[in-house]
């Protein structure tokens, strides 16, 4: 697996975050920046063959699932992104763990 695949969720998230924070008048909260840092950190650790780096991505997915399951009247439900993130990082962690064992 190419190492850029570990950054697949972080790249579009960072692009959207930078667009909304700097190019529009929409305010972003510090929690969004922390989530972005966790996604990038997860990708870096997975590139270094640290299988436990997937936990940062799973934590972000869990945060999104939690936020999406709370009824706040939002149009977009975050759990639609959270569940695939959890699956992606769990599979990536298993792949890296198996690669390191060989």
Please state, in angstroms and rounded to a whole number, the distance separating the CA atoms of residues 53 and 49: 8
pLDDT band at 1 (very low <50, low <70, confident <90, very high): low
Q: Are 86 and 55 in contact (CB under 8 A)?
A: no
pLDDT tens column, 67-85: 888 877 777 888 899 999 9
**20: DSSP letter:** I
**Which residues form the domain of 58?**
3-101
Please state, in angstroms and rounded to a whole number, the distance separating the CA atoms of residues 26 and 34: 17
Mean pLDDT, residues 53-58: 95
What angle, rounded to 10 degrees, do the helices at 30-47 and 10-18 form? 150
Percent of the chain with pLDDT over 70: 98
Mean pLDDT, residues 20-40: 88
Please state, in angstroms and rounded to a whole number, the distance separating the CA atoms of residues 57 and 71: 23
Q: What is the pLDDT of residue 25?
A: 78
Per the structure, the count of domains in the chain is 1
């Amino acid at each position: 697996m190419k190492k850029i695949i570990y950054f697949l969720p972080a790249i579009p998230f960072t692009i959207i975050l930078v667009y909304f924070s700097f190019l529009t008048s929409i305010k972003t909260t510090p929690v969004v920046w922390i989530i972005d840092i966790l996604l990038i950190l997860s990708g870096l650790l997975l590139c270094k063959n640290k299988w436990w780096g997937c936990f940062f991505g799973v934590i972000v997915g869990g945060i999104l699932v939690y936020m999406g399951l709370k009824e706040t009247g939002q149009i977009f439900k975050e759990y639609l992104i959270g569940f695939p993130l959890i699956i992606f990082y769990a599979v990536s962690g298993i792949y890296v763990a198996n690669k390191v064992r060989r």
